[in-house]
Amino acid sequence: MRSCTPLPDDQYLRKVGLVAYLVSSLEGLLLFDLPRLQAAVPPQLAVDRLAGKTTKRLGEQLVEFAPACATHNVAAYLGAGGRALVEVAPKRNALLHARPATDEQGRTRLYRWRLPEAHFIDDVWLDRVVQRIDDLHTEVNGLRPQLPD
């Protein structure tokens, strides 16, 4: 691909995309389950009310209304999912609102310019965030309720 903008190496770009994809995947897991779990969730958790929300707001809504679910297992699943989204939202935002910059080694990397926490989105940061999102996804998926056939 040609670009007039200096691009980082493909491995770095893959990690950037992976963070964005994994957060979206966690959101999708929860949103796509809502119709399946409809009989057990309160009307405030209808998918059409939540689908356009930000990651953080979606998580907050799940946390707020999960206790009103008709079954404990659905409440536990949606509550854990909501807490996971609230946790990962700031990292996702840091990544998506960062800007290309040149680091100390002369590499193009994203830079999150939000004081007092300004920092490079480097490989170590990305690896740590990918691992945390993966751990949260595994935890939430482990609570995913199975409905009788």
pLDDT for 49-67, tens place per residue?
A: 999 999 999 999 999 999 9
User: How many domains, in total, are found in the chain?
Assistant: 1
Q: What is the CA radius of gyration of the chain?
A: 18
Task: Tell me the one-letter amino acid at 51.
Answer: A
Residue 147 falls within a domain, yes or no? no
Q: Residue 97 falls within a domain, yes or no? A: yes
Residue recorded with tokens 């939202």: 89
Band the pLDDT of 75: cuts 50, 70, 90. very high
The three-state secondary structure class of 81 is: helix
Q: What is the pLDDT of residue 149?
A: 41
| Residue 35 is assigned to a structural domain of this protein | yes
pLDDT in tens, 93-131: 999 999 999 999 999 999 999 888 799 999 999 999 999
Domain that holds residue 39: 10-142
Q: Which amino acid is at 21?
A: Y
Is residue 4 assigned to a domain?
no
Q: Give the torsion sign (CA, 146, 48, 22, 74).
A: negative
Is residue 148 assigned to a domain? Answer: no
pTM of the model: 0.92
